Amino acid sequence: MTEKPISIVIPAFNQLDYCRACIESLRRVTERAYRLILVDNGSSDGVSEYFDSMEDADVVHTPENLGFPAGSNLGLARAEGHAVLLNSDTLLTPGWLGRLERSLLSAGDLGMVGPMSNSAAGFQQLVGLYLPDQEAVDGFAAELAQWNDGSVRDVNRLVGFCILIRDIVLEKVGLLDESFGIGNYEDDDYATRVRQAGYRLGVAEDCFVFHHGGKTFEGMGLTGERFEALMEENRLRYMEKWDVFLPKPKPSESESEALNLKAREALAAGDAGVAMRFLREAVAKHPTDARNFRDLALLLRDLGKGEMAYQCLVQALRVADELDEISVHLRELGDALNRGDEVAALLAGRGE
C-alpha cells in the first residue's frame, strides 16, 4: 500500500535566496512522500517565477501580501492528509518529516507537533548553537536524533515556523485566524484552539529544523520598534480573544536575543569582530543571561584571548541556572590556564 503524501505548505513574501535554500534542502533530505504547496504572497523579487519553476508543486499567487495567516490559509485549504506549515527561512535535515510524523502518530490525541530549533521561542529553542552551514546543521541534527530517539514532550504552545497538523485536526479546527494580520500570535491562537478541541501538542525532541528567524519581517522593514509594535498589537488581540493575560516580553530580553542571533549570523559569515560587538551589546542589554557570556567566552577563546574568555565564563557561572555546559567549558579553559584548583573552588561554590 502506497503511503499517503503529507502536504507541505510554504508561504513566502520575497526573500528569494532563503526560499531557494529552504526548498533545495527539502528536496535533498525528505524521503517521506510529500505534496508541495507553495504560496507566493505578493512577492516582487523573483519568488513568483521560482515557485512557478517547480513543476511538481501546487503554486498559489496573490496580487499583494495578505499576511502570514491569510497566505498560509490559501495553502492549507488545498492540503490533503496531514499538513506541515513551514516558514520559507528554514533548512530541513535528514529524516525530519519522518520523525515529526512518528511523533504525531505516537498517540491518537496528539493533534500537532513541532521540531526543536536554533530559533524558536520557548521550549523548542536550543540556545547558543553555532551552525555556520548545512553540513553543520545536518551533523547536529543527526546527533540530536540519536540522543533523543523517539522522545516526544507535551507542551502548551508550538511556534509556527514548522508544525505538523493531524488531518482530522485541520478538518475540525479549521484555518488560521486572519485577524492577526501580517502575523505573530496566530500560532499561539491556533495552539489554543487545537487544545480546546481536545488534542495535545507535542515537540519531537529528536527532530531539528534550522530557522533563520524573522527574515520575512526584516524584508518588510518590520524590525526594531515597528516589530515590537506589531507584537504588542497582536498580543493584546490574543488576550482579548481568549480573555487571558500574557505578560509582555521584556524589551531587554527580546533585544538581547536578537543581538545574539545577529552575532551567530556574523560568525557564520566569518566576521568575528562584528560578532563580538553584537555579543557585547547583548551582554549589556541582558546581563543576567548566561548564554551571552558563554557565547562571548567561546568566541574570545577561539581568538586566543584565554584570560578574557575565562572571566566571561566565570560570569556565566554566576548567573546560570543550568551549569552542565558552562562547567565543561570552564574546566577545559581552567586546565589550559593552569587554574584548575580555582575552577574547582568556583564550581564547589555553586554546589557542583
Query: 34 and 178 share a domain?
Result: yes
Q: Is residue 94 one of the residues assigned to a domain?
A: yes
pLDDT at 4: 94
CA distances from 214 to 15, 119, 302 (A): 11, 9, 29
- Domain edge (last residue) among 220, 242, 260: 220
In a domain, 209, yes or no: yes
Digit-coded pLDDT (tens) for 45-89: 999 999 999 999 999 999 999 999 999 999 999 999 999 999 999
The verdict on 17 and 110 lying in the same domain is: yes
Do the domain assignments include residue 198?
Answer: yes
Judge if 161 and 280 occupy the same domain.
Answer: no
In this structure, is residue 54 part of a structural domain? Answer: yes
Looking at 197, 220, 243, the residue that finishes a domain is 220
Q: Which distant-in-sequence residues (6+ apart) come within 8 Å of 162 by Cβ?
A: 84, 85, 86, 87, 90, 114, 115, 117, 209, 211
Both 166 and 50 in one domain: the answer is yes
Are both 91 and 194 inside the same structural domain? yes
Burial zone of 243 (CB within 10 Å; 0-12 exposed, 13-18 middle, 19+ buried):
exposed
Pick out the chain residues at pLDDT < 50.
Answer: none
Determine phi and psi for 40, rounding to 5 degrees. -85, 105
* Predicted local distance difference test score (pLDDT) of residue 162: 98
**pLDDT tens-digit series, residues 241-262:** 999 988 876 667 778 888 888 9
pLDDT at 22 (0 to 100): 97
pLDDT at residue number 251:
63
Question: Domain span at residue 291?
Answer: 251-349
3-state secondary structure of 201: strand
Which of residues 170, 199, 220 is at a domain's end?
Answer: 220
Do residues 190 and 278 both lie within one domain?
Answer: no
CATH number at 46 reads: 3.90.550.10
- State the DSSP string of 250-285: PHHHHHHHHHHHHHHHHHHTT-HHHHHHHHHHHHHH
